[in-house]
Amino acid sequence: MSEVEIAAKPTKQRWYRSLFVQVLIGIALGIATGILFPEFSHHLAPLGEGFIKLIKMVVSPLIFLVIVTGIAKVGSMKALGKIGGKALLWFTAATTFALGLGLLVGNLVKPGSGLNIDPATLDTSALDEKTQGGHLPGGVEFVMHIIPTSVFDAFAQNNLLQVLLFAILFGVALASFSESAPPILMDVIDQTLHVIFRIVGYIMYLAPLGAFGAMAFTVGNYGAGSLKSFGVLILACYGAALVFIVVLSIVVKLITGVNAWKFIKYCREEFMLALGTGSSEAVMPRIIKKLDNAGCDRAVVGLVIPTGYSFNLDGAAIYLSLAMMFLAQAVGVDLGFGEQLAIMGILILSSKGMAGVPGSAFVALSATAAAIGAFPVAAVALLLGADRLMDSMRVFTNLLGNCLATFVVANWEGMLDKDKMRAVLDGKVTPDDPDDVTVHPHPGHEHLEGAPARPAIERREALTTNGASEGTVNHHA
């Protein structure tokens, strides 16, 4: 059996040039500013919002290009169907476990017990403003919403599911051409993908500033007062998320061999930035790139990650089920086993249509409360002060859940390069561009019976002396 060879080890970067360190400093300064100057912090929101908008600017074209290049290489609708089906199977299992865990923790910890809130005394105007009259789409409405009015509208609205649909159709059509036609177009698409990643690199220079502004605004608006009022609920949510991550990591390790801790360390910059900005979308381009680098086939990454952002919100699922228990306990209602099962069933369905709905968590909670009828919908207004403080838990758990789901689906489909994965996660090679790592048959070793030779990993000759591809922004420590 062959071993992974690394042709060149990257040169270690100065600590202060690491994106992780820069974002960490930005978050720390943001927390300090929010605590010391809460009034001034209100004016810093545009820093975080502007950074997230810059990232969203490239998300749709990036998703389109990644999916098209991946599908064109797979070239089979049957293979795509298997990837999609297994992804949805995993999403459903993970979301169900997350919802069940939230209910279990709610029963054990009882975060709302003793509050004795009268829903009639609550001001629901802020809740109405938060949800902006939004509603969760029904089954037919949801499916119809995936079909764009026009291709340009899908990109203009930054609707990931609509872009995903068009990208799948485009990729399949491209793969169906004769071999003489596609290479020219594929070359253009591949080079355009490199350009998009280069743009992402430029935008990431602003990441520390974005994290600073977003964190300062959050702490200034929802700081110490909310922590005191909702301390037990917040601790329960974060504790449940930790249990979920540990269990999920063990399961994924058994299935794929992926060490979740090593993956978090490998993507520490992205996770820190997601925590700082409160947005997993802010790191989607770099996460896609890093999963590709870590041995997941591009077709799997392109299908699982965008779909997961709508169908696999594990952190949100934990919060929703635990919040339902909190609300019932806060108004003095004891939910029976049947009612809790009904809550889980409703949330399994409603959580799939949350993406893009204004105040989606409040809409889902209101819809579930109305369907159960055990306590007044007005009770949902109780969570207005705590919701933003849950963002870090939701974002981190959602992001890690989708990344690990990508490894699982890639492994199930035999589209996970485990030698490449181990080399990257062990830190033997730290590519900063999807094509920094190339795989070739290991010289001097025979193939295993019934399987291709295990690959060796080497750095491309195009790498510069600092370990990044020429012109690519390198933030790795």
CATH of the domain at 397: 1.10.3860.10
Taking 50 as the threshold, does the pLDDT of residue 445 lie above it?
A: no
pLDDT of amino acid 171: 82
Question: Does residue 63 sit within a domain?
Answer: no
Looking at residues 368-384, what average pLDDT do you find?
75
The residue written with tokens 């999963």 in the block is 291
- How many CB atoms lie under 10 A from the CB of residue 438? 15
> Coil, strand, or helix at residue 455?
strand
Rounded CA-CA distance 175/172 in Å is 5
Rounded CA-CA distance 119/378 in Å is 6
The alpha-helical segments, DSSP class H, found in 331-377 are 337-350, 360-372
DSSP state of 442: P
Q: Which of 352, 397, 395, 360 is nearest to 380 (CA)?
A: 360
Question: Does residue 184 sit within a domain?
Answer: no
Least confident of 136-145, 149-158, 287-296, 382-391: 136-145
Q: Is the pTM of this model over 0.85?
A: no
Question: Does residue 384 sit within a domain?
Answer: yes
Taking 90 as the threshold, does the pLDDT of residue 240 lie above it?
A: yes
Instruction: Give percent of the chain above pLDDT 90.
Output: 19
108: part of which helix (H) or strand (E)? Answer: helix 77-109
Rounded CA-CA distance 330/105 in Å is 15
Tens digits of residue pLDDT in 156-193: 887 777 888 888 888 888 877 755 555 677 788 888 88
Taking 90 as the threshold, does the pLDDT of residue 150 lie above it?
A: no
Q: At 249, give phi and psi (nearest 5°).
A: -65, -40
Confidence of residue 435 (pLDDT cuts 50, 70, 90): very low
Confidence of residue 125 (pLDDT cuts 50, 70, 90): low
Question: Does residue 130 sit within a domain?
Answer: yes
DSSP state of 76: -
pLDDT of amino acid 49: 84
* CA dihedral angle for residue 319, residue 322, residue 323, residue 326, rounded to 10 degrees: -150
Question: Does residue 47 sit within a domain?
Answer: no
Question: Does residue 213 sit within a domain?
Answer: no
Tens digits of residue pLDDT in 307-345: 888 788 898 899 989 988 988 888 888 888 888 898 888
Question: Does residue 412 sit within a domain?
Answer: yes
pLDDT of amino acid 66: 81
Question: Does residue 435 sit within a domain?
Answer: yes
Name the residue range of residue 382's domain.
76-149+223-459
Q: How many independent structural domains does the chain possess? A: 1
Give 3-state DSSP helix, strand, coil % of the chain, rounded to 5. 70, 5, 25
